[in-house]
Amino acid sequence: MVGIKTADELNKKFLREGMWPTIFCNGCGHGVVLEYTFWALEELGLDMDKVIFSSGIGCSSRLPGYINADGLHTTHGRAIAFATGIKAADPDFHVIVFTGDGDCAGIGGNHFIHAARRNIDMTVIMINNFIYGMTGGQLAPTAPLGSIATTAPYGNIEHPFDICNLACALGANYVARWGVSHPYQPIKSIKEGIQKKGFSLLEFLAPCPTAYGRRNKLGDIKKHWAWYDNNTILKEDLEKIMKYGTEQEKEQVKEKIPLGVFQDIQKPGFFEAYEKLVDRLKEKESKPKGAKK
């Protein structure tokens, strides 16, 4: 039951009045992730009074400003910790965090790790553009080997961070990575992430032509966007090729970034476990002292 059919109708419903135009450059991928999120929210039909956004600092972290909903635009790297408190205050909230690769995998890495480990009920949407966009193109922890940043002028020699891998290892309930050129799977995946109890991570690979593309000779905006199609592969396809493919086929795909759902499990979320603890204490104390079980 989707009432809304066009992007215009969608924007009218979900965009915050008075904040337009956005700060985003031409060809920036962040707006697409916002649009996907709107479609997911529309299809879920959630009460938007109870959907609360939190974000850190960066271009990607500006997204909650454009959404007609409560939003806490916090400090660099800390959005997930703020979101933990928001959710603790009211179990009816759906808490969604927008964050960047610098914000989440860099300065905020520790908060990310522990929220995932605790399985805190929230949906983290991390937009990975391989760069610190807002501050003008400094090296990000996700930057591919050899890529150029203002603070890696001779090419990056650090190994890039695979944040999905990390989230899986921590036992997060839902982990997925997508790009921004094919809407259907990502929108479905955002829906799954939001509906999931416990911690879900959605990583989006999104172009930043201004601070990354230009410097890394990815060409004009169109070519830059095409880079993502040429350098990613669906996880299932990758697995098939690695299992059944020829050496040549394997060689062709082994450097590509896998997309898809990497983890989808049902561990109890933190607040579910916490509520059980509260109930257990209540029950224990309501029994007369000395009574046996």
The first and second tokens of residue 251, run together, are 């060689």
Which residue do the tokens 């049902």 mark? 266
Could you tell me which stretch among 71-79, 139-147, 177-185, 205-213 binds other proteins (CB under 8 A)? 71-79
Closest to Mg ion by CB, 133 or 179: 133
- Residue 183: name the closest of 34, 67, 52 by CA: 34
In whole angstroms, how close is the CB of 25 to ligand SF4 at the nearest point? 3
Return the residue of 29, 71, 100, 213 that touches ligand TPP, per CB under 6 A: 100
The residues of the shown chain that bind ligand SF4, judged by CB under 6 A, are: 24-25, 28, 30, 59, 129, 133-134, 208-211
Q: Are strands 138-139 and 51-55 parallel, antiparallel or unpaired?
A: unpaired
Q: Work out which of 103, 199, 203, 224 binds ligand TPP, going by CB under 6 A.
A: 103
Residue 216 is encoded by which pair of tokens? 């890394």
d(C-alpha 110, C-alpha 22), whole Å: 30
**Rounded CA Rg of the chain:** 20
Using CB under 8 A as the binding rule, whether residue 75 contacts other proteins is answered as: yes
Query: Shortest distance, CB of residue 157 to other proteins, whole angstroms?
Result: 29
Tokens 């059919």 sit on residue: 5
Nearer CB in complex with ligand TPP: 52/57: 57
What Å distances lie between residue 269 and 1, 41, 198, 220, CA to CA?
A: 29, 21, 4, 44
Do 173 and 199 form a contact (C-beta atoms < 8 A)?
yes
When the beta carbons of 73 and 188 are compared against other proteins, the nearer one is 73
**CB 115 to ligand SF4: min, Å:** 24
- Closest among 120, 123, 150 to 204, alpha carbons compared: 123
Q: Which of 64, 71, 133, 141 binds ligand TPP (CB under 6 A)?
A: 133
Binding flag, residue 106, Mg ion (CB under 5 A): no
Q: Which is nearer to other proteins, 78 or 191 (CB)?
A: 78
Q: Is 60 in the site for ligand TPP (CB under 6 A)?
A: yes
- Residues 47-66 as x/- pattern, contact with other proteins by CB under 8 A: -xxx-x-x---------xx-
The one segment of 55-63, 148-156, 231-239, 283-291 that binds ligand TPP by CB under 6 A: 55-63
Long-range contacts: 230-235, Cβ < 8 Å, 24+?
231/255, 231/256, 231/257, 232/179, 232/205, 232/256, 232/257, 232/258, 232/259, 233/257, 233/258, 233/259, 234/258, 234/259, 234/260, 235/259, 235/260, 235/261, 235/262
Q: Which listed option, Mg ion, other proteins, ligand SF4, none, makes contact with residue 59 (CB within 5 to 8 Å by class)?
A: ligand SF4
Interface positions with other proteins (CB under 8 A): 16, 18-19, 48-50, 52, 54, 64-65, 68-75, 78, 81-93, 110-111, 113-114, 118, 274-275, 277-278, 281, 285
